[in-house]
Amino acid sequence: MTLQDITSRFILPGPVVYHEEIATGLINTTFAITCRSGKTETRFILQSINSAVFPEPEKVMENIFHVIGHIGTRDSHTEQLCLIPLLDGRSWLKLPDNTVWRCYPFHENTETFEKINSPQLAYRAAAAFGHFQARLADLDPSTLHETIPKFHHTPTYYAKLLAAVEKNPVERLAGAQAEVDFIISQKNLTTLLTDAGLPQRITHNDTKISNILFPTNPNLPPIVIDLDTVMPGLALFDFGDLVRSAASSAAEDEQDLSKVYVDENLRKALTEGYLSTAGDFLTPEELKLLPVAPKVITLELASRFLTDHLLGDTYFKTKYPGHNLVRARNQLALLKSM
């Protein structure tokens, strides 16, 4: 099936005259497509869901549809989040091979960042993620599917790393032993969030800084994107992952580890921004564990990248050999600075 066959199923303003791949995400395949109608050109995001990562992609779409609908009843800014319907009235296209495609409006005049260095942007991003959680606080978490079981269950990732070490299927262990040993030395961190009896909420679960669109007009609120992992979770997973990605002084795959450390000004701004919108619903137990959450999630990501390296790079997209090992080392450098 060609891209043209796929786009012809959606209600778009005209034929697609141009497309380009956006290769920043680590999981899905994403295109920016341009449709022409008369003299007007309009861009859209067309994306297929990685069914190796999300074995039931339609459940991902049901979650997104449900969450967008719920937010729509509470917030007038719903143009921020919407799905372009298909000609048959559905909201996503399922192909016989289990591939699912969806189409979103392209938000023009916005920017994304792999890293930021502005406390103002950090504050705004964190407030947007907190606001996202707040708007879903009255939706029963059990109404959403757990599309990737135990997605932020850090002890499970720790166990998966040990299994990969044991198996060493592509014989990369020797080059990664120091990183494995360091993660093992941090085992006590793995259970701090999951075993604390914190309340289940609906969370975003992928709050990295590149999943926020910043309008170039600073008076407009940032837009939370990539709702694929919206599902039941802990509020602190989102906060921890946000600090992990947005308070880092360098991109997630910076190789010069002397450049990788947590920027305390950014961390402070993220904490204040998050509490400005989430402070009202967080429990005292959640507030108590807030400072440690970034460490747990950074260790989790280091474990995930290292496991994928040891298993031969089957999960995260890589751009060069050893990319996942670079990411793991980067995350461990970040962890050590926290």
**Footprint on this chain of Mg ion (rule: CB under 5 A):** 206, 226
Residues within window 262-291 making contact with ligand GN1, judged by CB under 6 A? none
Amino acid 94 reads K
Of 25 and 130, the one with the shorter C-beta distance to ligand GN1 is 25
- Strand, coil or helix: 331: helix
- Strand, coil or helix: 141: helix
Residue 263 binding result from Mg ion, ligand GN1, none, given CB thresholds of 5 to 8 Å by partner type: none
Smallest distance, ligand GN1 to C-beta of residue 137, A: 22
Report the residue from 22, 27, 45, 192 that binds ligand GN1 according to the rule CB under 6 A: 27
Q: Verify binding: residue 100, ligand GN1, rule CB under 6 A.
A: no
Characterise 322 by phi-psi region: left (phi > 0), alpha (psi -120 to 50), beta (else). Answer: left
CA 209, CA 216: separation in Å to the nearest integer?
A: 16
Q: Verify binding: residue 252, ligand GN1, rule CB under 6 A.
A: yes
CA 12, CA 46: separation in Å to the nearest integer?
A: 11
As a residue count, the chain comes to 338
**Closest CA relative to residue 202, chosen from 233, 247, 156:** 233
Residues within window 167-206 making contact with ligand GN1, judged by CB under 6 A? 206
Query: What mask of x and - would describe binding to ligand GN1 in positions 205 to 244, judged by CB under 6 A?
Result: -x-x--x--------------x--x---------------
CA 301, CA 240: separation in Å to the nearest integer?
A: 11
| Cβ proximity of 326 and 319 under 8 Å | no
Smallest distance, ligand GN1 to C-beta of residue 311, A: 14
Q: Verify binding: residue 25, ligand GN1, rule CB under 6 A.
A: yes
CA 231, CA 147: separation in Å to the nearest integer?
A: 7
Smallest distance, ligand GN1 to C-beta of residue 151, A: 7
Report the residue from 12, 16, 49, 53 that binds ligand GN1 according to the rule CB under 6 A: 53
Residues contributing to the site for ligand GN1 (CB under 6 A): 25-27, 53, 206, 208, 211, 226, 229, 252, 301
